Amino acid sequence: MEKGDVFVISAPSGSGKTTICRMLVQRLDNMELSISYTTRPRKRREEDGKDYHFIDPKKFDMMICSRELLEFASVYGNRYGTSREAVRSIVSRGRDAVLEIDVQGGKKVKEELPEAVLVAVFPPDWRSLEERLIGRGRDTPDEVRDRLRVAGEEARELLSYDYLVVNDELEAAVTRVEWIVRATRLRRERAAARVKKIFDGNGEGKRWRE
């Protein structure tokens, strides 16, 4: 079976990456979101196994020691990680895995899987980012200032990603990421197995090669 690809989507907090990831999975066939593990408390309306796998720090440490995590990082005092087996299971079924993780995790994935496609999402400007963070109503004023400071640091690191997308308008941003996925699926390495079947089928390939 043809193996799927791994797409990493990262962005400063409040830039819309969660919405983009979920819309992308809804729009495209054979895409599956890898659900991260985290040590942070579950927030209101979040579901275990849907938004995150919520585990305690001891379990997280055990997963690190047993190399169950493809990547892991500490963000705002909590830890997040991606299951190696979950990603392997997705791509082995011919589906593309979408990893919604921060820039620390994205770089670790690229080290382990050089063929992974890294997509960075940016807000149109910092004022818009501040308004989005305040509008979410999740953070105190001090937390918003801290997130904006970290966002500036992350934005500079995200410039090293394979693709850069500005989320100035949600529908347009999702379409841009969709183009990236479709272009990746048309790469020679991905299409080679299917084309080979054309050449090998019913003896026709011999005449084509001649």
Secondary structure in 3-state letters for 132-196: HHHHHCCCCHHHHHHHHHHHHHHHHHHCCCCEEEECCCHHHHHHHHHHHHHHHHCCHHHHHHHHH
Structure tokens at 36: 């991260």
> Does 61 or 45 have the greater pLDDT score?
61
How far apart (Å, rounded) are the C-alpha atoms in residues 143 and 195? 53
Q: Taking the CA of residue 102 as centre, how many other CA atoms within 13 Å lie in the half-sphere pointing to its CB?
A: 21
The helix/strand count (H/E) of the chain reads as 9, 9
Average pLDDT over residues 71-96: 93
Q: Could you tell me whether strands 31-34 and 163-166 are parallel, antiparallel, or unpaired per DSSP bridges?
A: unpaired
Whole-number Å distance between alpha carbons of 2 and 208: 24
Is domain 6-193 given the CATH code 3.10.560.10 in the classification? Answer: no
Q: How confident is residue 205, by pLDDT bands cut at 50, 70 and 90? A: low
| Helix (H/G/I), strand (E/B), else coil: 56 | coil
Residues facing residue 32 across a β-bridge: 97
Burial (0-12, 13-18, 19+ Cβ within 10 Å), 190:
middle
Residues with Cβ < 8 Å from 204, sequence gap 6 or more? 198
Q: What would the mean pLDDT of 112-134 be, rounded to a whole number?
A: 88
Q: What is the pLDDT of residue 44?
A: 83
The lowest-confidence range among 50-54, 104-108, 184-188 is 184-188
Distance CA 43, CA 16 (A): 18
The Cα 172–Cα 37 span in angstroms is 30
The reported pLDDT for the residue numbered 47 is 92
Residue 163 has pLDDT above 60, yes or no: yes
Q: Per-residue pLDDT for 16 more than 90?
A: no
